[in-house]
Structure 1
Amino acid sequence: METSNAPQVPASVPVMTVERFSELSGLTADTIRGQIQQGNLPFIKVGRRRLVNVALLTAECMNAEDWS
């Protein structure tokens, strides 16, 4: 039986680090930081760290007009 090397993320993870989001999305961490700065990715700030708000991003995607 083959094992998958694909990254596994629990469905209930509401936020994640830029680095982890980078690993899962295939985008560079710099690209993600740029998207956060431009306001294209929702985030929350915890201390000095910015965490990608995956829960809000998922909700925005599901509510998008072009979602079918």
Structure 2
Amino acid sequence: MNDHGDFAQLSTSVAGLAPLMTRQRFSELIGLPEGVLNAQIDKGYWPIVKIGKYSFVNIALLNKQLLEREFKL
């Protein structure tokens, strides 16, 4: 049998492994409206990488920054 719940869980965990993510998908995952996220990006709160005319949230750098911050005394 095909269980759609397993697929949803897998797709969410795979999304967490992606080094870059669109602003729209990132705002969905963290539960912020896209307008709020864009304002925070404009203020420099989230790491962004530009590729051509597109900009993506740099998930790899965000994970690194959070891990470093967590273990500082």
TM-score, with structure 2 as normaliser: 0.75
For the pair 1:38 / 2:40, whether they are aligned, the reply is no
Structure 2 equivalent of residue 19 of structure 1: 24
SS in 2 for 1:45: strand
Structure showing the higher helix proportion among its residues: 2
Q: Percent identity between the aligned chains?
A: 32
Cα gap change, 1:54 to 1:2, in 2 (>3 Å): closer
Q: Does 1:3 align with 2:5?
A: yes
Of stretches 25-34 and 6-15 in structure 1, the one that deviates more from structure 2 is 6-15
Give unpaired runs (5+ residues) of structure 2. none
Shift of 1:50: 1.1
* Alpha-carbon distance change, 28 to 63 in structure 1, aligned in 2, over 3 angstroms: same
Q: Which residue of 1 aligns with 2:56?
A: 51
Deviation at 1:34, TM superposition (A): 1.0
Moved >4 Å (runs of 4+): 4-7
Unaligned runs of 5+ in 1: none
Q: TM-score, normalised by structure 1?
A: 0.80
Q: How many aligned residue pairs are there?
A: 66
* Coordinate RMSD, CA, aligned: 2.2
